[in-house]
Chains A and B, each alone.
Chain A
Amino acid sequence: MEFTDEQIHRYSRHIILPEVGGKGQKKILQARVLIVGAGGLGCPVGYYLAAAGVGTIGIVDNDTIELSNLQRQIAHNTERLGMPKADSAKMTFEALNPDVTVHAIKERLNKDMIMDLIKDYDIVVDGSDNFPTRYLVNDACVMAGKPLVSGAILRFEGQVTTIIPGEGHCYRCLFEEPPPPGLVPSCQEAGVLGALCGVIGSLQAMEVLKLILGKGQPLKNQLLMYNAFESSFRKVKVPRNPDCPVCSDNPRITELQDYEAEYCQMRF
């Protein structure tokens, strides 16, 4: 493909980077990224990936926009209250960059459709707000061998990690099973300062771009933790668990399962 004059202008700040160049920008334009969740994290991730020119973005979310979302979910707006978040995200991202095709998937991920969905994408981003989805996405990506950039936020803290199946750790190497419902913060405890979503979502977008470009050191076998209150970052090593129930050589989990969503349905 040849760049149009408009593309040369749009992506000039990428192209002049030695690590990107025209070749890297073409990789970005040809990339296909699936984002799970069009909420606090999915919005900034999708926004930056669309701006970067990721050619195909899938965004999965079965929720509609509520007023309480708008304090942090920056792809939506007040006029779109009640609209499906996936549709709103598609409108916002495609308006930002006509080079981008966004597929809005207005379903809740489940074990029967996730493998078929992720097979069309190169990289998966988890910005979901619940543990059943988080574990389902992890297990599906491990089984399909898809790189997964996982992010999570709560109150003033966030985490990012990049899972490269077969090469590094997976989410279950970190936390083998979902926590019992009683240990998950209740709705009243689960506030978040909105800008934290921008920090963590931008870190996730950066991980995705590095994977597309094949440059830099992604957070493989590492968990990056950010504390907004203390203004501190901490990176911890996460070795691959040789007895991991899903990504070890002899996994116990060989079929996907849908965990019961018996947690308080707080919406990130």
Chain B
Amino acid sequence: MEEIKPDKSINIKGLICPYTFVKSKLAIEEMEVGQVLEIILDYPEASRSIPKSMEDHGHKVLKVEKINDTDWVILVRKERE
């Protein structure tokens, strides 16, 4: 599968809900439609809630992957302002 290159990456390890989503949302708001945001996090609940909330806000979740014992990486493409 082709590797997706994010346009921006944020590391929100150590943050818990709802600040995980608040930070992610603020980051994606600053981006252009079509750009991809990479989110690196370690709060298990957020690995489920961020993709759901991003979809609710109309964006496209491209990937949710556990990359080691503690961390996840999520890729989201901005679909709308």
Contact = CB atoms under 8 A, between A and B. Distances in A.
A12 B22 CA distance: 6
A12 B29 contact: no
Contacts, number: 28
A186 B26 CA distance: 53
Contacts of A18: 56-57
B57 A8 contact: no
Nearest to A14: B22
B26 A15 contact: yes
Secondary structure of the A side of the interface?
helix
B22 A16 contact: yes
Nearest to B27: A22
A124 B54 CA distance: 36
B21 A16 contact: yes
Contacts of B57: 18
A21 interface: yes
**Interface size range of chain A in the complex:** 10 to 19
Contact of B18 (A3, A16, A21): A16
A197 to B, nearest CB: 31
Interface string B23-34: 101100110000
**Interface size range of chain B in the complex:** 10 to 19
Contacts of A108: none
A12 B26 contact: no
Contacts of B18: 12-13, 16
Interface in B16-49: 18-19, 21-23, 25-26, 29-30
A21 B57 CA distance: 11
Contacts of A155: none
Contacts of A15: 22, 25-26
Contact of A22 (B19, B29, B56): B29
A15 B27 CA distance: 12
A80 interface: no
A23 B18 CA distance: 18
B71 to A, nearest CB: 22
A30 to B, nearest CB: 16
22 contacts: A3-B26, A8-B19, A8-B22, A8-B23, A9-B19, A12-B19, A12-B22, A15-B22, A15-B25, A16-B18, A16-B21, A16-B25, A18-B56, A18-B57, A21-B25, A21-B26, A21-B29, A22-B25, A22-B26, A22-B29, A22-B30, A23-B29
Interface of A: 3, 8-9, 12-13, 15-16, 18, 21-23
